[in-house]
């Protein structure tokens, strides 16, 4: 079974744009769980442009499914945040400070000693550790050597190549996923997964443990919910 963890960063982005508390990230997290999501993912960044550090503490109090915190562990504040909240899973992502979004996985060979120390810190706190990697068998093997429990395959290149040639786009992911299975690592995937490309990925790699999806899922929620919402507002204008 592949579990769906909903990334609610975009809800926080919308909330922050007005400075109030609408939409409320806790309500959305609880609704996602009520509608069947098996996990909630957040990716706090140092500038707190979407999920704030306080959100993580608040979510930890209410989330009852798998809680997954993603972020760059080179930031001391991130390590402290994760250890203070003890989520089910931490996903280590090497994102640059000013990048719009995550755009690459770890080089698990070059960063081996840093990753070994970090993985150990989180694992000794009882937190499952997933390492975000490009679909490269050496990087998957490197994550295993670092002591990780899982890898998360960075699926942006798959999503980008899907419409041109989905067989070609998925091939490096199948190879990386096979390597993860061979070395005994759990397998997550995420970034730019959508209603267009998700099913084929699942068919190609049925043993994925988890996908985390935010941007497209929240956008779809707007598209799919818009008709009902406009009708409700129109009804309020009837005498
Ligand atoms: C780790 C990853 O793949 C990202 O997708 C991330 O979690 C999303 O972050 P943003 O919502 O900030 O783009
Ligand atoms: N780990 C990936 C994630 O949480 C969501 O990525 P996206 O669907 O927002 O691109």
Global pTM reads: 0.97
Cα(218) to ligand 2 centroid in Å equals: 11
Residue 135 in contact with ligand 2 by CB distance below 6 A: no
Q: What is the pLDDT of residue 96?
A: 87
Distance (Å) of CA 101 to CA 5, 43, 64, 154, 214: 18, 10, 27, 12, 12
Name the H helices within 49-136. Answer: 53-62, 76-85, 112-124
Q: How confident is the model at residue 98 (pLDDT cuts 50, 70, 90)?
A: confident
**3-236 CATH, one of 3.30.70.141, 3.20.20.70, 3.50.50.60, 3.40.309.10:** 3.20.20.70
Q: Does 190 contact ligand 2 (Cβ within 6 A)? A: yes
* pLDDT in the model for residue 97: 82
Query: What mean pLDDT, rounded, does the chain reach?
Result: 97
Note whether 94 and 106 are within 8 A (CB).
Answer: yes
d(CA 144, CA 123): 13
12 close to 24: Cβ distance less than 8 angstroms = no
| Chain segment 156-182, per-residue pLDDT in tens | 999 999 999 999 999 999 999 999 999
Query: In sequence order, what are the beta bridge partners of 151?
Result: 131, 187
Question: What is the number of the ligand 2 atom nearest to the C-alpha of 194?
Answer: 8
Tell me the domain boundaries of the chain: 3-236
In this predicted model, what pLDDT tens digit does every residue of 62-87 receive, in sequence order? Answer: 999 999 999 999 999 999 999 999 99
Tens of pLDDT, residue by residue over 103-137, are: 999 999 999 999 999 999 999 999 999 999 999 99
pLDDT band at 197 (very low <50, low <70, confident <90, very high): very high
136-141 long-range contacts (CB < 8 A, ≥24 apart) are: 136/105, 136/172, 136/176, 137/175, 137/176, 137/179, 138/108, 138/109, 139/105, 139/106, 139/107, 139/108, 139/109, 139/176, 140/108, 140/176, 140/179, 140/180, 140/183, 140/185, 141/108, 141/179, 141/183
Ligand 2 pocket, residue 191 CB under 6 Å: yes
Ligand 1 center from residue 190 Cα (angstroms): 8
Closest-lying ligand to the alpha carbon of 159? 2
Q: Is 71 in the pocket of ligand 2 (CB under 6 A)?
A: no
- CA–centroid distance, residue 7 to ligand 1 (Å): 8
Chain centroid to CA 80: 19
CA-to-CA distance for 102 and 133, rounded, in angstroms?
A: 11
Strand segments, DSSP code E, in the chain are: 3-7, 39-42, 66-71, 89-92, 128-133, 150-154, 186-190, 210-213
Ligand 2 contact, 150 CB (< 6 A): no
Of 7, 10, 153, 155, the residue with max ligand 1 atoms within 8 A of its CB, to mutate for a pocket test, comes to 7
Q: What is the mean pLDDT of residues 176-203?
A: 98
Q: How far is the CA of 167 from the centre of ligand 1 (A)?
A: 25
């Amino acid at each position: 079974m592949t579990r769906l963890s909903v990334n609610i960063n975009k809800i926080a982005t919308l909330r922050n744009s007005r400075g109030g508390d609408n939409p409320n990230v806790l309500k959305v997290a609880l609704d996602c769980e009520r509608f069947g999501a098996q996990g909630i993912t957040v990716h706090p960044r140092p500038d707190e442009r979407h999920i704030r550090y306080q959100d993580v503490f608040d979510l930890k109090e209410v989330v009852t499914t798998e809680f997954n915190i993603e972020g760059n562990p080179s930031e001391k504040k991130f390590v402290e945040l994760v250890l203070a909240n003890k989520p089910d899973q931490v996903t280590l992502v090497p994102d640059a400070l000013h990048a719009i979004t995550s755009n690459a996985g770890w080089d698990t060979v070059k960063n081996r000693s840093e990753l070994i120390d970090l993985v150990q810190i989180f694992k000794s706190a009882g937190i499952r550790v997933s390492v975000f990697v490009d679909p490269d068998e050496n990087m998957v093997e490197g994550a295993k050597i670092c002591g990780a429990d899982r890898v998360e395959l960075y699926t942006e290149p798959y999503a980008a190549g899907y419409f041109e040639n989905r067989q070609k786009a998925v091939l490096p992911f199948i190879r990386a996923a096979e390597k993860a299975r061979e070395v005994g690592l759990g397998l997550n995937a995420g970034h730019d997964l959508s209603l267009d490309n998700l099913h084929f990925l699942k068919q190609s790699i049925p043993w994925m443990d988890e996908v985390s999806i935010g941007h497209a899922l929240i956008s779809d929620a707007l598209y799919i919910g818009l008709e009902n919402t406009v009708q409700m507002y129109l009804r309020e204008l009837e005498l």
